Amino acid sequence: MKLSTILLAGAVALTTSLPAAAQDLGLDRINATVPFGEGGGSDTLVRAVAPYLSGAFENEPTILVRNEPGGGGIPSTNRFAKRANPDGSDILAMSSSIFIANTLGSPQIDFTLDAFVPVFIAPMGPLYCVSPSTGATATGDVAGMKGASLVFGGGRQDSADILTVLSFDLLGFDVKSIWGLERGGGRIGFERGEFNVDHQTTAAYLRSVQPLVRRSP
């Protein structure tokens, strides 16, 4: 698969100053920074795409994935913008949370999105999960949840996680939010029963949630 194919795959997850003729750069290794913890949507997507990105280069360089969680991905993205090599050997996994924080004008952002060049873009919608304790008995059973108080564990109030709170608020539910968690941490809290609502991207759901659903009685 050539790089042009990846660029046109229609699905921004990886960004860098990578030129269109990257397959001719002769790179032996590409450092892929994921500004979130393992198991989340961005991490899952990068690890899934890595073999195809490597195959876009003539010498198939090793894609080394490094997770730098914390601060909703902003601190790591700030560091990447300052230190990344512009030769295509450094790439960064973005997410909707970064774009939302940028749109809301987070004072912690110290980078310009226009400085990044898209390499692979993957639109992934969220999947919402609620506990049976809310009264829901089937997919889409919003009526069965009537009167339920929801508890959600999210990352930052200026991240994509706020969309979960706003969505259920618009449906008329009282949502209590616990902030400061990575998506993986929020999912584990949901599995433990600490939260009764959660959301995951499609990629994270397929990798980390669906196997548990299949094993459930």
In tens, the pLDDT along 96-116 reads 888 889 888 899 999 988 888
CA–CA dist 76, 179 (Å, integer): 19
pLDDT for 120 equals: 77
What class does CATH assign to 126-215?
alpha beta
**Helix 96-103 crosses helix 74-83 at what angle (to 10 degrees)?**
90
pLDDT for 123 equals: 75
Which pLDDT tens digit goes with each residue over 50-59?
898 888 877 8
- 3-state DSSP call for residue 63? strand
The more confidently predicted of residues 184 and 51 is 51
- 3-state DSSP call for residue 64? strand
pLDDT for 113 equals: 85
pLDDT for 17 equals: 42
Read off the pLDDT band of 172 (50, 70, 90).
very high
Under a CB-based contact definition with an 8 Å cutoff, are residues 129 and 200 in contact?
A: yes
CA–CA dist 45, 210 (Å, integer): 16
Mean pLDDT of 44-69: 87
- Ramachandran angles phi, psi of 3, nearest 5°: -60, -35
State CA 16 to chain mean position distance.
17
Q: Beta partners for 178?
A: 153
- Extract the runs of DSSP E, i.e. beta strands, from the chain: 14-16, 29-34, 62-67, 90-93, 117-120, 126-130, 149-154, 174-179, 197-201
Mean pLDDT of 69-94: 89
pLDDT for 216 equals: 53
The CA-atom distances, in angstroms, between 126 and each of 22, 82, 148, 205 are: 32, 31, 21, 9
pLDDT for 41 equals: 78
pLDDT for 215 equals: 59
Task: Look at the block and give the residue holding tokens 């990344």.
Answer: 84
Mean pLDDT of 141-158: 92
pLDDT for 217 equals: 54
CA–CA dist 176, 112 (Å, integer): 33
pLDDT for 7 equals: 32
pLDDT for 114 equals: 83
Could you tell me the residue ranges of all domains in the chain?
Answer: 3-120, 126-215
CA–CA dist 164, 197 (Å, integer): 9
